[in-house]
Amino acid sequence: GVMTIRGCAYAGSKGVVWGPVKDMVHISHGPVGCGQYSWSQRRNYYVGTTGIDTFVTMQFTSDFQEKDIVFGGDKKLERIIDEIEELFPLNKGMSVQSECPIGLIGDDTEAVSRNKAKEHEKTIVPVRCEGFRGVSQSLGHHIANDAIRDWVFEKKDVEFEAGPYDVNVIGDYNIGGDAWASRILLEEMGLRVVGNWSGDATLAEIERAPKAKLNLIHCYRSMNYICRHMEEKYGIDW
């Protein structure tokens, strides 16, 4: 999870794509170091009350110890999800951001996420973004986008009344508030921004993204994958 010269796949997923989604809790699943290092490294501005409807600046980790590496961490992940649900019941969902040891020991985060999502009736997304999967953040972006495709788009039948001028701003992480400025300009032009990915974003914005008429990409490198998918499946130009 080192985010100095160049990041890893975990950095691309947790630090860039998923981390700014404000009303979800993002669990750094593994030893404490990666999550701690990713904590508040980026100025993803957002509106909300921390611990109530926003969790961006909070750090959630499964804090793996040696025994967890030896015996596996699935049970620990189940307990953590239950604890988060008890402490922060207003969260709209969770993501499980896998660190390197998770892939090496073979924890079944998908099964845990699926079972707990059913139990708590919430969206829980396992993201196989173990750092060793790629030497840069870019693969982490791709993996994060694939998780959105498989665990959000495929599982949600969204009730949303779309309009003819609905657009998504894709790949804008509101670093220092730039997404707010973009939204004002676009809406003054007569467009309706129905989703910003993923600065100051909610899970609902991601869920309804396939209903938009156009995707406007700010950061091509991190989001071209999901835009290509939405074009192929939903006919959304970008």
Catalytic residues: 8, 11, 42, 141
Give the Cα-Cα-Cα angle 95, 149, 73 (nearest 5 degrees): 30
CA nearest neighbour of 35 among 85, 80, 93, 82: 80
Give the Cα-Cα-Cα angle 204, 147, 25 (nearest 5 degrees): 55
Total Cβ atoms within 10 A of residue 5: 6
Structure tokens at 30: 């593994």
- φ, ψ for residue 222, nearest 5 deg: -90, -20
Give the Cα-Cα-Cα angle 117, 73, 69 (nearest 5 degrees): 160
94 forms beta bridges with 25, 124
Asked whether 142 and 107 are in contact (CB, 8 A), the reply is no
CA 201/CA 55 separation, integer angstroms: 11
Strands 123-127 and 93-98: parallel
Structure tokens at 114: 């699926």
- φ, ψ for residue 83, nearest 5 deg: -65, -45
